[in-house]
Structure formats: structure tokens, C-alpha cells
Amino acid sequence: MDWQYFFELLLGGLTRGSIYALIAIGYTMVYGVIELINFAHGEVYMLGAFTGLIIASVLATLGFPIPMILILAAIVAIVYSACYGLTMEKVAYKPLRSAGRLSPLISAIGMSLFLQNYIILAQTSDFLAFPRLIPDFEFMEPIAHVFGSSDFVIVVASGISMAFLTLFIKFTKMGKAMRATAQNRKMAMLLGIDADKVISITFIIGSSLAALGGVLIASHVGMVNFFIGFMAGIKAFTAAVLGGIGSIPGAMLGGLFLGLSESFATGYIASDYEDVFAFSLLVVFLIFRPSGIMGKAKVEKV
């Protein structure tokens, strides 16, 4: 076995899986709290990438150093996308909270199409070059040919973000309120929990993580387009289902599992069937383990 090639695929899958996990957390958090699949979540990832591009271009013109450009672009993208996620929840989802399940789903698809066309009109439908904002680290030189500085930053930033989110959910008052709302929203409201506030914060956190992933992966790949959120969103949704929709640890594990599986499949089988393999994996899980890796089968109370 070519171990160098194996580790190259392993590290590449880890980078890809980290981004899937960041986006999948948004899907699983929203579903866990209000049982809604937010199909516009991938477009929030795309919006974060475009916001980062605009801010990076302005700061580069003003002569800011590259590390500072990356930090400021990521912060602005996170804040803007969080505000957009909050607005989207208030405008498109909150009025339909008591409606049938089909209405919020249609609204989510409508928001996805709206965001795509908004970027086309406000920016362009063409691919745009994204500046390389992550410098080369000297300590990465021995493995730079298989795992570059941008890969390292993506994995570390994703790991830190997911660790902080886990601690937030487990130990803070708002985290406990989110868990209570996810378990039983009506009972949580009877106990004095502001469910509307919890849902809004859930959208803010999910949108922030998606925006961070958008900036990091755009800098890694070197280009952005209005359509990048669609496929990334579908893959992240697949990761959330694989891990167990509604489970935050499951979303993290599902993202890594999907990223590594794609990497090894494309490396050892054929790169042309990357998407086919991912969705075939989803079908297999839906047939044999529909609750996902860490999900629990839902028990209907009668």
C-alpha cells in the first residue's frame, strides 16, 4: 500500500469533513429545536463567502496585512450572515411555525432561490477569484505537499468552533434552554423558557458557523460562485442525516465520516463518481439505519 497516498487522502478528507460538519451543525440545530429542514442554510454559507470576498477586497485595497484581512473578513461575514439568518427566521419561518410541515419547507426552498438570485443581481453569476488569505506556515513545510496551511487552519478553526459550541450547549443557561426546547417546546414554555428567543439564537449560531466555513473554504479553493451553497448544503444535510439529524455530536461525526468516505472513494475508485457515492451512502443509511450513527429512533406518544 502507498502509505503517503493514503495519508494524503486521509488529511484531505479531514479538511472536507470539517467544513461539512460546520454546515451540518446548522441543519441539525434547527431541526432539533423546531423540526424544520432549513434548505436555505447552504445559501447562508455562500453569502458568508461573498461577504468575506467583499471585505477582503476592501481591506486589501487599504493595505491591511493578510492575517488581519482574514480575521476581519471572517468576523464581518459571521456577523452579517448571523443577522441574515435571524431575519430569515423572523420573516420566512416564524409566521409558519403553527402551519403544516409542508409550508415551512416550501418557504425554505423559496428563501434558497431568493438568496441565489439576490447574489446574481448584486454580484455576478460568474466565478470570482477569492484571495489567498492564509499564509504559509513554516512548521507545515514538511507536509505542505499533502496538508497545506489552509487545510490546517480549516481543521483547527472547525475543531475549536465545535468544541466551544459543545461547551455552550452543555454548560450555559441558554444551552440548557435550547436542549429543553428541543426535547419539548411546549413544556419548556410552561417552565418560563422564551422559545422564540431560543429559536432565534439557534439560527444565529447555525448561520455564523456556516459563514465561517464559507470564508475558510473560499480562501482554500480560491473562488466563489452563487451556486456553491447548493451542493455544499446538500452534502452537509447528508452529513447531518448520516450522523443523526437533531444530534450535534452526530452532525460533527457525520461530516467527518462523509468527508473521509468521499476522499477515499474518489482516491481509490473514481473521482467522477464523488457525488454519486455520497448520495448512495445516504440511501444505504436511510434504508438500514434511518436514525443515523448517533440518532435515536423517535417514539410517537399516543
pLDDT tens digits, 173-217: 999 999 999 888 889 998 899 999 999 999 999 999 999 999 999
pLDDT at residue 301 in the model: 45
**Cα 231 from Cα 46, distance rounded (Å):** 10
**Cα 242 from Cα 253, distance rounded (Å):** 8
Inform me whether the pLDDT recorded for 46 exceeds 80.
Answer: yes
Q: Predicted confidence band at 296 (pLDDT cuts at 50, 70, 90)?
A: low
Inform me whether the pLDDT recorded for 300 exceeds 70.
Answer: no
Q: What is the mean pLDDT of residues 69-92?
A: 94
**Cα 42 from Cα 233, distance rounded (Å):** 4
**Cα 211 from Cα 230, distance rounded (Å):** 14
Average pLDDT across the chain, whole number: 89
Inform me whether the pLDDT recorded for 73 exceeds 90.
Answer: yes
CB 39 within 8 A of CB 269: no
Helix (H), strand (E), coil (C) string for 53-116: HHHHHHHHHCCCCHHHHHHHHHHHHHHHHHHHHHHHHHHHHHHHCCCCCHHHHHHHHHHHHHHH
pLDDT in tens, 152-167: 999 999 999 999 999 9
pLDDT in tens, 90-144: 998 999 888 877 888 899 999 999 999 999 999 888 999 999 888 888 877 877 7
Cell numbers describing residue 286: 436511510
pTM as predicted? 0.90
CATH code: domain 12-288 is 1.10.3470
pLDDT at residue 302 in the model: 44
